Chains A and B, each alone.
Chain A
Amino acid sequence: MSVVAVLKGGRSLERQVSLQSGARVEDALERLGHEVVGIDVGHDLVRRLREVGPDVAFVALHGRDGEDGTVQELLEVVGIPYTGSGVSGCVRASDKVLAKHEMRDAGIPTPDGLSFNETAFKELGAADALGAIEERLGFPLVVKPADQGSALGIKFAASAADVPAALVAAFSYSSKVLLERYVHGHDLAVSILDGVALPVVEAVPVDGLRYDFAARYTIGRTRFECPAGLADETTIRAQELALATHDVLGCRGFSRVDLMRDHQTGELWVLEANAIPGLTDTSLLPQAADAAGIGFDELVGRILALAARAGPGP
Chain B
Amino acid sequence: MTVDDPGGRPGRDTAAARPRDRPRSRASQSDLERYAGLFAERTRNMRSSAMRDLMALTQRPEVISLAGGLPDTTLFPAEELAKHLSVVAAEAGARALQYAPTEGLSEVKRAIREVLRAEGDDADPEDVLVTTGGQQVIDLVCKTLVNPGDVVVAEAPTYPGAVPAFAAYEADVVQIAMDADGLRVDALEERLDALGAEGRSPKFIYTIPNFQNPAGVTLSLPRRRRLVEVARERELLILEDNPYGLLRFEGAPLPTLRSLDGGEFVISLGTFSKILSPGLRLGWAVAPRPVLSKMNIGKAASDLNSSSLTQLFVATFFRDGDWRGYVAKQCALYRARRDVMLASLEEHFPPGATWTRPEGGLFLWVTLPDGLDTTDLLAKALSRNVAFVPGRAAYLDGRGGASLRLNFSGVGEDDIREGVRRIGAVVHEQIELLDRLTGRRPAAPAPAEALSPAPDPTLADVLELRRRAPDPRRPQRGSSSP
Q: Contact residues of A with B, CB < 8 Å?
A: 11, 13-17, 20, 23-24, 27-28, 30-31, 62, 118, 121-122, 127-128, 130-131, 134, 142, 144, 149-154, 160-161, 163-165, 167-173, 187-189, 201, 203, 216-222, 224, 256, 258, 271-272, 274, 277-278, 280-284, 286-287, 290-291, 293, 295-298
A contact residues around B371 at 8 Å (CB): 164-165, 168
Interface string of B416-449 (1 = CB under 8 A from A): 0000000000000010111011110000000000
A contact residues around B29 at 8 Å (CB): 290
Q: Is the CB of B1 within 8 A of A167?
A: no
The contact sample of 25 A-B pairs, CB cut-off 8 A, is A13-B379, A17-B9, A127-B438, A128-B439, A130-B482, A142-B1, A150-B53, A152-B379, A160-B478, A161-B481, A168-B376, A168-B437, A170-B376, A172-B379, A173-B379, A189-B2, A203-B3, A219-B5, A221-B6, A256-B2, A278-B5, A282-B5, A284-B3, A286-B31, A287-B30
Q: Is the CB of A164 within 8 A of B3?
A: no
B79 near A: Cβ within 8 Å?
A: no
Q: Is the CB of A219 within 8 A of B49?
A: yes
B contact residues around A161 at 8 Å (CB): 477-478, 481
Among residues of A, the one whose C-beta sits closest to the C-beta of B51 is: A152
Expressed in whole angstroms, the Cα–Cα distance for A127 and B1 within the complex equals: 25
How far, in Å, is B10 (CB) from chain A's closest CB? 5
Beyond A127-B437, A164-B437, A219-B48, whether A271 also contacts B5 by CB under 8 A is no
Which of the residues A23, A272, A278 comes within 8 Å of B1, measured between beta carbons?
A272
Q: Is the CB of B56 within 8 A of A15?
A: yes
Among residues of B, the one whose C-beta sits closest to the C-beta of A285 is: B4
Q: Indicate the size class of the contact surface on chain B.
A: 35 or more
How far, in Å, is B67 (CB) from chain A's closest CB? 15
**Total inter-chain residue pairs, C-beta < 8 Å:** 206
B298 near A: Cβ within 8 Å?
A: no
Expressed in whole angstroms, the Cα–Cα distance for A298 and B26 within the complex equals: 9
B7 near A: Cβ within 8 Å?
A: yes
How far, in Å, is B91 (CB) from chain A's closest CB? 44
Q: Is the CB of B53 within 8 A of A122?
A: no
Among residues of B, the one whose C-beta sits closest to the C-beta of A125 is: B436
Given contacts A149-B2, A168-B430, A216-B6, 11 further A-B contacts (CB under 8 A): A15-B56, A30-B21, A122-B433, A130-B482, A165-B371, A169-B373, A173-B376, A274-B4, A277-B4, A281-B18, A283-B4
Expressed in whole angstroms, the Cα–Cα distance for A163 and B47 within the complex equals: 29
Beyond A172-B430, A281-B18, whether A17 also contacts B57 by CB under 8 A is no
Q: Is the CB of B24 within 8 A of A296?
A: yes
B contact residues around A295 at 8 Å (CB): 24-27
Q: Is the CB of B15 within 8 A of A173?
A: no
Among residues of B, the one whose C-beta sits closest to the C-beta of A284 is: B4
Among residues of A, the one whose C-beta sits closest to the C-beta of B476 is: A161
Beyond A150-B50, A160-B482, A172-B377, whether A17 also contacts B3 by CB under 8 A is no
A contact residues around B437 at 8 Å (CB): 121, 127, 130, 163-164, 167-168
Which of A171, A271, A274: most chain B Cβ within 10 A? A171
Q: Is the CB of A20 within 8 A of B11?
A: yes
Which of the residues B11, B60, B436, B477 comes within 8 Å of A17, measured between beta carbons?
B11
Q: Is the CB of A151 within 8 A of B54?
A: no
10 tightest Cβ-Cβ pairs between the two chains A and B: A161-B478, A150-B8, A164-B437, A187-B3, A172-B376, A281-B31, A17-B9, A169-B376, A16-B53, A20-B11
Interface string of B377-399 (1 = CB under 8 A from A): 10110100000000000000000
A contact residues around B5 at 8 Å (CB): 17, 150-151, 219, 278, 282-283
A contact residues around B49 at 8 Å (CB): 219
Among residues of A, the one whose C-beta sits closest to the C-beta of B29 is: A290
Which of B3, B20, B54, B433: most chain A Cβ within 10 A? B3
B28 near A: Cβ within 8 Å?
A: yes
A contact residues around B9 at 8 Å (CB): 14, 17, 62, 149-150, 278, 280, 283
